[in-house]
Structure formats: C-alpha cells, structure tokens
Amino acid sequence: MSAEPLVVASPSIEHRRPRFGGWLMRAGFGGFVGIPGLIVTILAIVGPASVDESALLSALCVFLGILGLVVSPFVSLAGAVLTSLSLPARSSGVLRADAQGLVVVQAGKEHHFSRAAIEGGLVLPGTLLDGKRPRVELYLRRGAVLTAEVPDGMTAHRVLDRLGVDVSRRRVAVLCGSAYRPLLTGCVSLPFVCFLLCIPFGYFITEYPSARWPPLAFAWSVLLLMGFIVRLTRPREIIVGSDGLRIGGLFGDRWIRHSLVRAIEEKQRALFLEVGEAGKPSRRIEAATGDPSFIMAVAGRLRLAIALGSNGAGGPPVGAELDPAGKSFTEWKDKLQSLLLHTGYRKSAVTYEELIAVVDDPDLPPGQRIGAAMALGIAKHPDARVRIGLAADACADDAMKLALEEAAEGELDERTLRRVLD
C-alpha cells in the first residue's frame, strides 16, 4: 500500500448517526407505551384511593404521565430527525486517507478519524433508480456513518484499501431495512392491539368491578405485545466477512459460510441467496432488503469476499497437522510445539508463509486456521500478530475472530476453541 495519502474531492459529505437515532425512536416509543403501563401497575398495587391520599404518589403519577405521554413522543421525533440529519451539515469537502486514518475537510474545518475508529466500509454504486453518484460509506464506532460521493467506484475502493477496511482485511456490518419501520409499525398497530385486548379484559372488568388485576394484565399485555411487534420489524444487522455471512434475526443469527453460497440474486429492493451443500438441494433465503444502491453494494461485497476466499484447493499440506480434531486440548498444543520445535522452526518444513496461508484462507476448516495462528503465536514470529490480526478483523464469525486473536497472543483457552468447533 502506498505511503502517499489519497486525496479525493467530494461534492457531498454527510455524517449521520442512524443507530443513535434508532435507539431514541425505540426509547421514545417504549416510554409512550410502557410508562402508562407502569402507572397502571402502581394503581393496581397500592389502589387509587391510596394514590389520591398520598401527595408523593399523586405527584409521581402526574410526572410519569407527562414523561410518557408528552416527553416520549418528542424523543421519538428527535430520533427520527437525527437518523437522517447530517451533523455537520452536508456539504462539499475533501477526503484525505492514509495509513493513520481519515481526515475530512468541510467548510474549512478538519475532522480526524483514526483507523481504529473506522469499523468497516462499503462502496455504494450510483444507479439510475436513486439518481445518486457512486459513494463510499464508512461505518464508525458508536454507530456513526460517514457517506461521501466520489468520482467513480474505483476511487471508492481505493479509499477503503487505503484505510485498511477493504474486503480482504476487514469485515463490514450494516443494517438493512428502514430505521423508521419499527416506529411506524408500532404507531399503526397500537390502536388495533388496544382494541383487540379490550374485548377479553373488558369482560373481566365488567364481571369483577372491584378486582385490580384486569387493568394490570391489560397494560402488561399491551406492553409485551407491542415490544414483540417492534422487535419483529427492527432493522437486521448483516455482517460480511472473509469467512462467511452472518444475518441477524429475531431468535438468533444465521451463519452462512461462503462455500455454501451457490448463487446471488439481486432484486430491486431485496437480495436473495441460493444456499446448500454440494449434492444436496439448495434453499432460497432473503439476505437483505433496502434501496437499490444498498442491495448492489452488499451483493458486490459478498461476491468479492467469495472470489478472494480461497488461497488454493485444500490449502497447504501442513493444514491437517494443525487441526485439533480428534485430539485433546493438551495433545493438540503439544503437537503444535513438536511441529515447530522438533527440527527447529526456521529449518523445519513448516514455514511462516505456509502458516500464514492457512490463517488467511477462510475456506479451510476453522480448526486448521486456529492451529496455524496458535503455532505462529508459539513461534513468536515478529510479523505474526499483525497478520493474524488482519485475518481476525475480516472474520464475520465473532467466535472465530476471538479465537484467532487469543491464539496470536498464545492465550487461547479450550472454551474459546470449543465455541468455534462445536
């Protein structure tokens, strides 16, 4: 990689905080639905008469009512605005990318972002459907997003390469689906949920007018059902790494190795994958939804990751000797020690290049990659930690990422290894 900084003039640079805005929207809606439920809970526990007699409880209920019915909607609106608002305001500027990080110059002011603060990046191609030019989108820590228009897609890829967040060196995590969908769904469904639940609980209130539990049960039923509906429609996180694709879901993540992807199909606002093992029927799954540029960007990133995946058919011959399969943890570590030290590391048939090739190849079994990283950590090769760190940063599988990092330091424990292999 060149030491010269890459300087790119951009007609439009914006800095948004969609994750924080989404959190505010959910918090505001949760307060609007949940705080009245809390008031009903207080009334059900102590009784309306006790609340009327206690100035403290009356003030508390009034305060909670204002917080839930007045403040919470404004919090949601502020989150909706912040999701799409650029701070500082969108304007032209200059990007300067080098080995230290990124400098953004807007309106005569410089904004510095270290490489450690940049978690990933994506190239958004311009399309006729959205009328936008090619853009580079950088995902920063704490959920901030920096988007800049660039002259062409090649320039966008050069920016990612210069910052060390290209497909071969860093995984990318993105949210698919509209950030406004959970809030809109909740607002639309709340009256219908309340109406439907009023029918059974209205019966109990009529039959048992002195009972306190029907209003309490009604309030918590509305709260739990609305929480489930909003969670069901929240944006999904997709992580594309060198080793595979992880798709977030309501009841857990779905992990798909690149070797299982048979075909990638792009629709106007959805991305579908044909997934299956060789010789077995494949299944079609929806991997992402979003605007056309986003779908093209995720599909392009996935195709690049698959194309760059394997370093060779089956990897170096030393790979099988590094695999912990069929060995206890202690036996496996002893095997690695003997492999490196039996004839001397530098004179042995196991070279640094062969071990790095195993670590870098996401198509090899995870056990072999971890074994190679562990061997390099034991040998304490001066460049090993940096190379293994790059391989770890590119992993979409969090367990594999942690295992490689610990192996590079020689601190891998059996529990971390088993999380990957089991």
Q: CB atoms < 10 A from the CB of 70, how many? A: 10
Q: What is the pLDDT of residues 236-268, one digit of tens each?
A: 889 998 888 899 877 778 888 888 898 999 888
Q: What is the pLDDT of residues 171-214, one digit of tens each?
A: 888 888 777 777 788 788 888 888 877 767 666 666 666 677 77
Q: What is the pLDDT of residues 53-74, one digit of tens each?
A: 888 989 998 999 899 889 999 9
Helices (H), 179-241: 181-207, 213-232
Confidence of residue 275 (pLDDT cuts 50, 70, 90): very high
| Alpha-carbon span 330 to 352, nearest angstrom | 23
Least confident of 58-67, 120-129, 202-211, 319-328: 202-211
Q: Comparing C-alpha atoms, which of 147, 146, 138, 149 is closest to residue 173? A: 138
- Return left, alpha or beta for 380; rule: phi > 0 is left, psi -120 to 50 is alpha, else beta: left
**pTM across the whole model:** 0.76
From residue 149, alpha-carbon distances to 16, 43, 153, 236, 295 in Å are 14, 56, 10, 25, 17
The residue assigned the tokens 């639940």 is 197
